Amino acid sequence: MPTVPGALGAFRRDAVIDAGGLTADTLAEDTDLTMAICRAGWKIVYAEDARAWTEAPATLAQLWKQRYRWSYGTMQAMWKHRHAIADSGPSGRFGRVGLPLLALFGVALPLLAPVIDLLAVYGLIFLDRGHTALAWLAMLALQFATAAVAFHLDRERLRGLWALPLQQLAYRQLMYLVIAQSTATALAGARLRWHKLHRTGQTRVASR
């Protein structure tokens, strides 16, 4: 597990000290700390009964800034801990398993994901529209099934899945651009300042 979210995470004091403490080296300090704790040999577990409330971005611009910071900060943390690949023991296991998985699913696949949309558009214009639409719907059905399993495991109500098709037309494209911008910023060696989330105080606790 490469990231214990700062909004819902708890660490033993001894583990934090053993990992070198919380640093300001990256813009994703929770990811940086989690990686350091994994490398130090501590075990991270998931507490399914834990509950926390945090304020999410209220506008598209705020969401962009938050995701941009998270994405860039994660890349910073990966680069900071890159030497773990050549280590032995717990640090080496994390470096040879955790870092490649994070690079694949957190960077490479999101960068390649727009190809699916481009192929869908190409198919609708130049190929058989029925087959193209069927393939796209099959992909959506697969995502719906995996999302339903995730909701079931977290004991969430499935009615929230109605928004999944809308996510394919808005949120996915936003994340494409965020990952691309973060990668370009990292390759250019530019420094990204901290994007503070504007607090609205409109947090609403959902009843169960």
Q: Quick one: the chain helix, strand, coil %, rounded to 5? A: 65, 0, 35
Mean pLDDT for 144-150 is 90
Q: Is the pLDDT score of 151 beyond 60?
A: yes
Residue bearing the bigger pLDDT, 200 or 102: 102
pTM, two decimals, is 0.78
Nearest to 74 by CA among 30, 36, 28, 35: 28
pLDDT at residue 204, as a whole number: 59
Q: Give the pLDDT confidence of 164-205 residue by residue, as tens digits.
A: 877 777 787 888 888 888 888 888 877 776 656 666 666 555
Residue bearing the bigger pLDDT, 59 or 148: 148
Token representation of residue 175: 């994340």
pLDDT at residue 197, as a whole number: 60
Answer for the pair 19, 36: CB distance below 8 angstroms, yes or no: yes
